Structure 1
Amino acid sequence: MSEPQADVTVVKSPVYLKYRFTAGSAPARFLGRLKEGVLTGQRCPRCSNVYIPARGSCPACGVPTEKEVVLSDKGTVQSFTIVSIPIPGNPIEPPYIVANIVPDGANISFIHLLSECVNEEVHIGQRVQALWKPAAEWGYSMDNIRYFRPLDEPDVAVDRIGKLPVTGLES
């Protein structure tokens, strides 16, 4: 008679997923303008908030958004984290900073890298600007911006981030 076998408790099975993203009309316009080196958002006709990237509707009011606004590549750090643990497959060596940045002229943030700074000196309200890749390398991606770097400008008060007068240009 054979001896009882131990229960299987762990199975290692690498999974590789490939995604195909199909953008709707609002994200497609956003990505098209990004390929031209222009950040854009959409203004809500009801609450006047400007969202980036464009979604085609206001998440707060639920109404369609169509009015596009050209935004600055300058912004304000709304929150951030210092990543200290390597992420498998990520070519960026820790430690590095991932920040939520509210671009000038918008009311909400998007996530991007922050570099050319002392990690321990990064703070909420800090002013930053995009460092773009050379135009010949641009595609339909936020990767056109290598990272954001600190500016020598006064900080924005925490309670004013995303609430400054929206000065984006209608396109």
Structure 2
Amino acid sequence: MAERIPLVDYLVLGGEPQLVAQECEQCSARFFDRRNACASCGAAAFRAVTVPREGTVHTFSIVSMAPPGVPVPFVAAVVDCGGTRVRGCLVNVEPRPENVTLGMKVRLTTVPVGADSAGVEAVGYGFEPV
């Protein structure tokens, strides 16, 4: 099997893909990028926490215009995963308004995004209907 690497640092590949957030030790705000200080309270101490793999669609938009090379339409969404809001695309669902609903149950999945000349595959994430 070819080597696979995550497209973003907070995606952990393996048996079941997982997202890992940085949680403020003072106020419990969660962030997916590296932080020097919490944007909510200013504290500087964080701990890594695994975000639940399943969630519900909080909001979404069907995107019909994108830069060249980005296939459209697609569904951009914010998914509530146990209280942590995660931005991502909905996959394995036809991007039509009648196929996506607020509160729809979804789960984390991985999506191949390309490979280099050595065959190393970059892997992103999305959410698919449960």
Task: Give TM-score scaled by structure 1 length.
Answer: 0.53
Matched, 1:113 2:92: no
- Opposite residue 149 of structure 1, the aligned amino acid is E
Q: Does 1:89 align with 2:68?
A: yes
1:102-146 deviation per Cα after TM superposition (whole angstroms, max 9, x unaligned): 333x53x23211122253231222221122147x9654xxx422x
Residues 35 and 144 of structure 1 are in contact (CA less than 8 Å); yes or no, is this contact kept in structure 2?
no
1:103 aligned to 78, 81, 84, which one? 81
Aligned to 1:129: 107
**Which has a greater percent of helix?**
1
Q: Which has the larger radius of gyration?
A: 1
TM-score with structure 2 setting the length:
0.66
Higher RCO (CA 8 Å, separation ≥ 6 residues): 2
**Is the aligned partner of 1:47 residue 2:24?**
no
- 1:1-171 → structure 2 map (5 Å cutoff): 31=9, 34-36=11-13, 37-85=17-65, 87-94=66-73, 96-104=74-82, 106-107=83-84, 109-118=85-94, 119-120=96-97, 121-133=99-111, 139=122, 143-145=123-125, 147-151=126-130
For the 8 Å contact 2:108–2:127, the answer to whether it is kept is: yes
Amino acid at match of 2:11: L
Identity of aligned residues (%): 25
Structure 2 regions of 5+ residues with no counterpart?
Answer: 1-7, 113-118
Deviations 1:36-87 (A, max 9, x none): 34311122222223333453432111111321111222222221111123x2
Partner Cα separation in structure 1 for residue 121 and residue 80 of structure 2: 22
Q: Aligned partners of 2:79 and 2:120: how far apart in 1?
A: 23
- Measure the CA separation in 2 of the matches of 1:126 and 1:54: 30
RMSD: 2.7
Point out 4+ residue stretches in structure 1 off by more than 6 angstroms: none
Corresponding pairs, count? 112
